[in-house]
Amino acid sequence: MEIIPGIHAIRHTFSIPVAPGAILNRFVYSYLIVGETITLIDTGVAGSEAGIFDYIRSIGCVPSDIALIILTHSHPDHIGAARAIRQATGCSIAAHRGEKAWIEEVDLQNRERPVPGFFMLVGGSVKVDRELSDGELLTPEETGIQGDMQVIHTPGHSLGSLSLFMPEEGVLFSGDTIPVPGTIPVYDDLAASVESIRRLRNVAGIRILLPAWDEPGRDDEAYQQMDRALSYLQAVHEAVLASTEDGTTDIMELTRKTAAALGLPPQAAGPLLARTLAANLKEKGRKNLLEKSPHL
């Protein structure tokens, strides 16, 4: 769908097999920015290239118009089709240096962050041509689109997660930086996640928020989505702390208890949620996440 002239959202649905006979149904967005060439933000899971190419043709362009892919981070649902798209178009790929190793060597990612069905979701490793840094401006000459695009390093969900802001349009692409209440929270660094959301919350002039795992938000709703995300992180943290009050130390038992307390489905209590809650345990002495941390 076209969000505003020149910016399009493509919704990819997929399933993760979390246990025999149990799956999690998910979706993720890719975004096209269409100018003299096309900049693609994230690629969806393996096989998503077919839908991306069909959509590009439907708007009167061709897949080879893709000149640049920007990966907001390295997780399977964002890089899954990157290799296939690169092979089909010859485009360049950009990402933060903190994500480069997992993009260029997906076997390493699978070893260090195993996800059920990983190799169903990821089409293979792909070279990162350009490392992006916080505060960097991508110019029209580099992207083929009008106006500058600002790179904002927003770690927490992952080490090198990026958001991208187009100030002239007031459009913020936030990747997975902003968690969605009621869904499985995913982050490696809780304190960094809180501060990244706060940083985006302080960006003036956001008219359209385009996250990867939530619906677009406009004007005040964009900022409200961030406020709800911060409140959700606090609720998750309180649930983790409550689950440890009886002395529970086993991470999977803690994960099951916390998932139940949050009203998440039983199949959510797997390795990804356990990894997230381990990040909460590192902040166990910090009861209120919404108070400014003295070390940040």
Q: Tens digit of pLDDT for each residue in 235-258? A: 999 999 999 999 888 999 999 999
Q: Tens digit of pLDDT for each residue in 90-129? A: 999 999 999 999 999 999 999 999 988 899 999 999 999 9
Q: Which residues pair with 152 in a beta bridge?
A: 163
- Domains of the chain are 2-235 (3.60.15.10)
* Separation CA 253–CA 267 (nearest Å): 13
SS3 annotation, 152-200 = EECCCCCCCCEEEEECCCCEEEEECCCCCCCCCCCCCCHHHHHHHHHHH
* Separation CA 26–CA 255 (nearest Å): 20
Q: Tens digit of pLDDT for each residue in 19-58? A: 666 777 889 999 999 999 999 999 999 999 999 999 999 9
pLDDT score recorded for residue 24: 77
pLDDT score recorded for residue 23: 77
Structure tokens given for 36: 């003299």
- Whether 141 and 150 have beta carbons less than 8 Å apart is answered as no
pLDDT score recorded for residue 16: 80
What value does the mean pLDDT take over residues 179-204? 96
